[in-house]
Structure formats: structure tokens, C-alpha cells
Amino acid sequence: MGATLAGTGALVATAALPVRSAAASLAPLPPLDPAALRAAIDDLEHPPSTAAQLRVGGTAGDWYGASGVADIRARRPVTAHDKVRIGSITKVFVATVVLQLVAEGRLGLDRSVRCVLPGLLPARFTPVTVAHLLNHTSGLPDHVGIPEPKTAEEVFRHRCDHWTPQEWVASATNGPLKFAPGTRQEYRGINYVLAALLIDEVTVRP
């Protein structure tokens, strides 16, 4: 699937949200509009994509649709059984498993990453903890030598690149920490590469 899912983290003050009664929150949703849903996934130009899939479910009804091709050479249509990359949605699953391990007492949020994964982070770094990874406050340096695509075109250009988790970590440990762990927040994929490696190590499963 060539679609790029971009998200922005917006903070909303709850006091500014309109107050809804319990009865209003239980009001039935309008019926699904299959024509509008089909039109949404059939537009594969904004952004340029090879395929799109959409599944809607809930009290208003259920709908599934697919558009485009899973194989651009054979022109095979995409189906519900095709695998797609989920990108940064992976972080939700990684964080869930880490917190499950914490609940089981197999990992601690205050545990130093270097203690669990010796040799991956330089000794000169102030200790980065599991919690620092999960909330993006590790302060790890920027990558050196690995491109970080920021547009759909760049993603397409680097779609066949392959880097091991260890190579990702090595590319982000060359310079000094950008800030002391826990003092600032910066969204970084490398935090969750390390979190996934923690899971591998603790569970002995990839």
C-alpha cells in the first residue's frame, strides 16, 4: 500500500469542548454513506498511492472497500488478505507489550536501557530509561547515514531500503545527547526501535 498516513498531535483543552448530556452521546449515528466511502478510497492521487483499504464498523453499520492494486506489475487487485505496512501505528503495539511486561514485573519503567541491552547505547550517555523511550524524552541524537523520508515521494524513493534495528540504533548514537533524558520531549522513531529490542530481549521472541 502506497498511501502515507500523516498525523498531528494536537492538544485540546477539555474545558473548551462542548458539554454533552448522556442522552446526546447515545444518539444514533447517521447511516453509512457507501458512495462517499467508495469515493474516498478510489482517489489514489491525493497522495499518490497504489492501493487503499477501508473497514468501518459500529452501531451505524459495517462497510469494507478496497481500491487499487496489490501488485503493480500483475495488476492484481488488493484484497482484505493482503499485508500492508502500518508505519508508526506499530508504536501503539510496542508500547502495549512493554507495559504488559511492566505489569508482569519483567521490566521496569525506571530501568536503564543499557542494563537490559548492554553495548547498544554508549556509556557516555546519561542513563536512558524505558519510560524515556515510551514518552519520547530520551534525547537521543539525530540519525547519521540513514534517510528519514518526509514526503510521499521520498517514502516511495526509499521504499526498498532495509536497515536492521541494530543499524538504526548505531546511526543515532554518534553525537552527544540532544538534551538530558526526561527534560524535553521529541517524537523519534528510534525510541521505539529500542523499545522493540527490549521486548525481544525480555521475551526471547522477535
Domain that holds residue 47: 31-84
Please check whether residues 167 and 79 belong to one and the same domain.
Answer: no
Question: Does 7 fall in a domain?
Answer: no
Please check whether residues 80 and 107 belong to one and the same domain.
Answer: no
Please check whether residues 94 and 51 belong to one and the same domain.
Answer: no
The answer to whether the CB of 152 falls within 8 A of the CB of 4 is: yes
Question: Does 18 fall in a domain?
Answer: no
Please check whether residues 195 and 109 belong to one and the same domain.
Answer: yes
- What global pTM score does this model have? 0.67
Please check whether residues 181 and 115 belong to one and the same domain.
Answer: yes
3-state secondary structure (DSSP) of residue 52: strand
Residues 162 and 1: their CA atoms lie apart, in Å, by 17
Please check whether residues 56 and 136 belong to one and the same domain.
Answer: no
Query: pLDDT-based confidence at 7, cuts 50/70/90?
Result: very low
Give tens-digit pLDDT for 123-143: 999 899 999 999 999 999 998
Please check whether residues 77 and 106 belong to one and the same domain.
Answer: no
Please check whether residues 133 and 174 belong to one and the same domain.
Answer: yes
Buried b / exposed e along 100-122 (16+ C-beta atoms within 10 A): ebbeeeebeeebbbbebbeebbe
Residues 106 and 171: their CA atoms lie apart, in Å, by 28
Question: Does 111 fall in a domain?
Answer: yes
**Count of domains observed in the chain:** 2
Please check whether residues 199 and 110 belong to one and the same domain.
Answer: yes
Closest CA to 29 of 75, 62, 66: 62
Question: Does 151 fall in a domain?
Answer: yes
Give tens-digit pLDDT for 67-114: 999 988 999 999 988 887 788 899 999 999 999 999 999 999 999 999
Please check whether residues 198 and 103 belong to one and the same domain.
Answer: yes
Q: Please tell me the predicted confidence (pLDDT) of residue 9.
A: 32
Please check whether residues 54 and 110 belong to one and the same domain.
Answer: no
Please check whether residues 80 and 91 belong to one and the same domain.
Answer: no
CATH number at residue 99: 3.40.710.10
